[in-house]
A and B are shown apart, each in its own frame.
Chain A
Amino acid sequence: MSRPIIEFIDVVKAFGTQRILDHVSVGFPEGKTTVIAGGSGQGKSVSLKLILGLIKPESGQILIEGQDIASMKRRQLNTIRTNFGVLFQGSALLDSITVFENVALPLRERRSLSRQEVHRRVEEMLDQFDLSGHGEKYPAQLSGGMKKRVGLSRALMLQPKIMLFDEPTTGLDPEISMEIYRLFFKTQKKFGYTSIIVSHDIPKVFNLADQVIILKDGKMIVFDSPEEIQFSVNPEIQSFVETTMGQVYISQDIEKLS
């Protein structure tokens, strides 16, 4: 696989006495899609926050293109962060401004473009996500699926190298989830970003994965393909696969993959 663009080296993260990550070392290959799966409260969101520098590890290094963000000052961190696009679990749109303003925000804040140019780019992006005509609405007036699409537009506005998705489809009905994955496929093809997806939507999301990481009891177990998980002889993995994903889905999934 290609070289890692993000790398955890011996990372320890704890809250009080609770160890979330226990000496974890893992790499996220450039241009590929990594899926992080694991039970609730195992530290999936915490891992994403570590990558974003929103929280710091107790020890170890987190390298983004070779630079350790764990020891960085705010200013340097901000430079690194311009490489990232994030789709938050609840979309995290600013609710005091309109959809248009939300999507325009990264452009207004990080680029110096003319009014017309901002307008053009935002409209183009909204159009791609079937959101034209909704620009003047406020986030509270949107459905969950629409919010995700606005969140995705905002995240892609600066053409990030790395996209992080925290449970992009949790709480959406299957049809809308499929729509989100379709948009994911389309935009990844277009922008070629590295992606990390945290998801419970196991069967669907496994079809997108180049690498799967299962997070369990503070350890990250890496699989170079979704199939590898199926044939894992590790009894813990087997039990995880059964309890988290359900036997039925898995067998369907194998059929689809093979």
Chain B
Amino acid sequence: MFQYIEKLGATTIYYLRDIGRMGLFLLQSFAGVFSHPFRFRETIRQIKEIGSSSLGLIAFTGAFTGMVLGLQGYYTLSKFGSEGALGSAVALSLIRELGPVLTALMVVGRAGSAMCAEIGIMRNSEQLDALECMAIDPFRYLITPKFLATLISVPILTQFFNLIGIAGGYLAGVVLLGVNPGAYTSGIEQSVVNLDINLGIVKSFVFALLIVWICAGRGYFVHLIRGAGFGAEGVSRVTTQAVVYSSISVLLWDYLITAVML
């Protein structure tokens, strides 16, 4: 009985500490923006890294998502004789929901996992200790550029996803199934309002923050995570954990933001 309570207490303390650490990590990452000298070039390099590693994937997923929406939308709408609304159905689904969510999930898979593994390996091979010993702030030097780069890249990639997706919907609906092209484009113009666009943008920023926070943070604390083990195994476990946690958080926050902003 006592053992059970003791275990429960230890677990509670562990999770509270973990949350505290992660909170502090977030603050320090932002504080890194103001400590000098700011690493502008490294930030640009990271944007390229995150952007270019995900761009092809985003184009591919965007195109097929749009095309599927075109087909499915046509199938549903034609039952009510309102194929003309296809453009607005595709655009609204993409801009409000699928664009931000799917982009975020793709970025988690490509850039987020790589980030977590990179930082985790740096921790295990004492590279982070070495930075501290040289009196170099690891946040300013390493983490903050990744934070900013993700916050910049993800919203841009999301808009790119939306554009490609709308074009994909056009291809499926107009070119293949013969929906009136004028109806497709004017449907988008008439139905998409500022709120929809803002909702998409807010989501993409929040998702970006979740991704980089969880992925970079898990890698940074790889040595403190319970049950992860050590060495290469620890890094691989923690990377998997980062991917799972950030994907779940993206879906959870997607619901919360939609519910609040609707």
Interface residues of A (CB under 8 A from B): 49, 52, 54, 78-79, 81-82, 84, 86, 88-90, 92-96, 105-106, 109-110
How distant is A119 from chain B, measured CB to nearest CB, in Å?
Answer: 18
For B122, B131, B134, B141, the residue with the greatest tally of chain A CB atoms inside 10 Å of its CB is B134
Can you list 13 contacts pairing A with B, beta carbon distance less than 8 Å?
Answer: A78-B135, A79-B135, A81-B132, A86-B130, A88-B130, A94-B130, A95-B125, A95-B127, A105-B134, A106-B134, A109-B141, A110-B134, A110-B135
- Specify which chain B residues have a CB less than 8 angstroms from the CB of A49 in the assembled complex: 129
B129 CB contacts on chain A under 8 angstroms: 49, 52, 54, 88, 92
Q: A88-B130, A95-B127, A105-B134 are in contact. List 10 more A-B contacts (CB 8 A).
A: A54-B132, A54-B133, A81-B132, A81-B133, A81-B134, A81-B135, A86-B133, A92-B126, A94-B122, A96-B118
Q: In the complex, which range does the number of interface residues on chain B fall in?
A: 10 to 19
Residues in chain B near residue A96, CB distance under 8 A: 118
Q: Cβ of A105 and Cβ of B133 under 8 Å apart? A: no
Q: Is the CB of B127 within 8 A of A94?
A: yes
Determine how close the nearest CB of chain A comes to the CB of B81; give it in whole angstroms: 59
Nearest 7 pairs of A and B residues by beta carbon: A92-B130, A78-B135, A92-B126, A81-B135, A88-B126, A86-B133, A109-B136
Q: In the complex, A73 Cα to B86 Cα: how many Å?
A: 61
User: Would A92 and B127 count as touching, CB distance under 8 A?
Assistant: yes
Residues of B within 8 A of A54 (CB): 129, 132-133
How close is A91's CB to chain B, nearest CB, in angstroms? 8
CB neighbours (8 Å) of A88 from chain B are 126, 129-130
Q: State in angstroms the CA–CA spacing of A89 and B135 once bound together.
A: 19
A82 to B129, CA, bound (A): 14
Which residues from A are CB-within-8-Å of B132? Answer: 52, 54, 81
- Residues of chain B lying within 8 A (CB to CB) of residue A106: 134
Give the distance in Å from the alpha carbon of A54 to the alpha carbon of B100 in the complex. 40
